[in-house]
């Protein structure tokens, strides 16, 4: 009778169960849905936005740069704040800042105000992602860590997929590009509500399981950076080269596909607004936005399976090396040939599966628990240096050369640099006892 009562007390959604843990993961993942949509909404409507504002294509890159500059200035200290305040208070603060920035972008027609809104979005969004990474490490380290990171990326990238496949359709349906930006605001408000629900679930789990907060007991000092080993720095450098070879490219790839191959911006369709949006989802290989979204779709479909393999077998550095190798020919084929871009974008999607699935779960294995937020913040700050520079540089090169050939060579070079850092990471990990090559169950506290 005692055992039966204990089982009943646990229940299906008791914090000790896997069901509760993955319910928490669902809400963590949806926290970023709105901000992912908002981040890429600018790129999704780039042709319409350029026409409406009467500016060159470099203006789109500058909006991404505004976001990245703000994120660079805030994300490291945001990670420190996560370690000091905890994920609940800090994430609500960051979510509120996101809503403020997106609202300014949505209701502004002045370029300077849009730039300011993107800056505010960057202040909130990237520290929010740091908080989310710490949330996942808090609930899944030593269990299903890589799988949890992969699943969270799937849900977050739904925001990107929805943005690229519906952004132009929303603008066309309402005959106003601002309609897409208002949709982004609504979705960010939804994500803020999701964050409130996560706070309730996390608080309940902490109380019942008597979890430690994981907060740093002492204030941050730069001397703590000496605790980070070479492996952490190589992962961070791989992070900046990898994401700089992907996201700055997709920021203007819709225009690239329209300009070089004459691919349609949206699928031809009649009927209601939702019918038009759905039509874009059904024609991913024949619209510029759909082809742009191929790497994201590939990651969504296959990242969870790769995450399961990483948890079971390890091999994190091996996957990062393989993914880095793939990036180089993917960009060169699109830049130097007229081969239809679907296949090279699928190759880029393969790299987009392998590297993040192995890279992000590596950080909790390389730093102390009480410095996880700081580590994620620092790594993200390094990443964002590239995301601030390369969208702007991509736009400038496009306007100067009237083609994307030089830009694609630049992106391929970033892939090669990432390969170098992945190989250095492998050597450093060998010296440290192959921590990153081990299965997750062998890396419990």
Across 203-237, b (16+ Cβ under 10 Å) vs e yields eebbeeeeeeebebeeebeeebeeebeebbbbbbb
- Structure tokens of 364? 């909790």
Q: Are 119 and 145 a contacting pair, CB within 8 Å?
A: no
Q: Residue 6: its pLDDT value, please?
A: 45
Residue 223 domain-assigned (yes or no)? no
Please name every residue paired with 264 in a beta bridge, in sequence order, or none if there are none.
287
Low-confidence residues of the chain, pLDDT below 50?
Answer: 1-8, 217
Residue 65's pLDDT is what?
A: 80
Q: What is the CATH number of the domain that holds 306?
A: 1.20.1250.20
| pLDDT, position 390 | 86
Domain count, the chain: 1
Look at residue 164 and tell me if it is in a domain.
Answer: yes
**In a domain? residue 352:** yes
Rg over CA atoms, the chain? 21
Residue 292's domain comprises 17-206+228-443
215, part of any domain? no
Give residue 86's pLDDT: 85
Q: Is residue 221 part of a domain?
A: no
User: Pseudo-torsion of CA 153, 154, 155, 156, nearest 10°?
Assistant: 40
Residue 255: its pLDDT value, please?
A: 81
pTM for this entry: 0.75
pLDDT given at position 141: 82
Residue at 363 is within a domain = yes
Q: What is the pLDDT of residue 5?
A: 39
Residue 4 lies in a domain: no
Q: What is the pLDDT at residue 171?
A: 81
CB 293 within 8 A of CB 284: yes
Q: What is the pLDDT of residue 8?
A: 42
Instruction: Classify residue 220: in a domain, yes or no.
Output: no
């Amino acid at each position: 009778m005692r055992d039966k009562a204990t089982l009943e007390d646990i229940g299906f959604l008791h914090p000790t169960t896997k069901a509760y843990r993955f319910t928490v993961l669902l809400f963590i993942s949806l926290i970023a849905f709105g901000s992912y949509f908002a981040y890429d909404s600018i790129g999704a409507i780039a042709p319409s936005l350029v026409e409406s504002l009467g500016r060159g294509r470099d203006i789109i890159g500058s909006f991404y740069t505004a976001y990245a500059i703000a994120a660079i200035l805030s994300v490291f200290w945001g990670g420190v704040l996560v370690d000091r305040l905890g994920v609940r208070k800090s994430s609500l603060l960051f979510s509120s800042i996101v809503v403020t920035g997106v609202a300014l972008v949505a209701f502004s027609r002045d370029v300077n105000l849009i730039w300011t809104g993107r800056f505010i979005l960057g202040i909130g969004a990237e520290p929010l992602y740091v908080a989310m990474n710490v949330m996942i490490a808090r609930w899944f380290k030593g269990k299903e860590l890589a799988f949890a990171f992969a699943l969270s990326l799937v849900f977050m990238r739904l925001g990107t997929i929805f943005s690229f496949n519906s952004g132009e359709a929303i603008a066309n349906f309402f005959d106003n590009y601002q309609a897409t930006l208002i949709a982004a605001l609504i979705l960010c408000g939804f994500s803020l509500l999701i964050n409130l629900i996560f706070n309730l679930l996390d608080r309940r789990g902490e109380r019942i399981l008597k979890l430690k907060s994981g907060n740093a007991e002492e204030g941050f000092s730069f001397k703590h950076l000496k605790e980070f080993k070479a492996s952490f720095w190589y992962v961070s450098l791989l992070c900046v080269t990898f994401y700089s070879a992907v996201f700055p490219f997709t920021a203007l790839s819709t225009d690239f596909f329209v300009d070089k191959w004459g691919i349609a911006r949206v699928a031809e369709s009649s009927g209601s607004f939702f019918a038009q949006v759905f039509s874009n989802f059904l024609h991913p290989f024949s619209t510029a936005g759909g082809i742009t979204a191929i790497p994201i779709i590939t990651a969504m479909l296959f990242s969870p399976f790769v995450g399961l393999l990483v948890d079971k077998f390890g091999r994190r550095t091996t996957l990062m090396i393989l993914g880095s190798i793939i990036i180089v020919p993917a960009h060169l084929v699109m830049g130097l040939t007229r081969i239809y871009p679907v296949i090279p974008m699928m190759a880029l999607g393969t790299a987009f599966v392998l590297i993040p699935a192995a890279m992000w779960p590596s950080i909790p294995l390389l730093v102390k628990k009480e410095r996880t937020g700081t580590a994620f913040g620092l790594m993200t700050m390094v990443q964002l240096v590239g995301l601030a520079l390369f969208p702007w540089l991509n736009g400038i090169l496009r306007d100067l050369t009237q083609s994307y050939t030089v830009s694609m060579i630049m992106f391929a070079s970033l892939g090669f640099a990432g390969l170098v850092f992945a190989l250095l990471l492998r050597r450093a990990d060998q010296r440290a006892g192959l921590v990153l090559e081990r299965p997750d169950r062998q890396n419990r506290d």
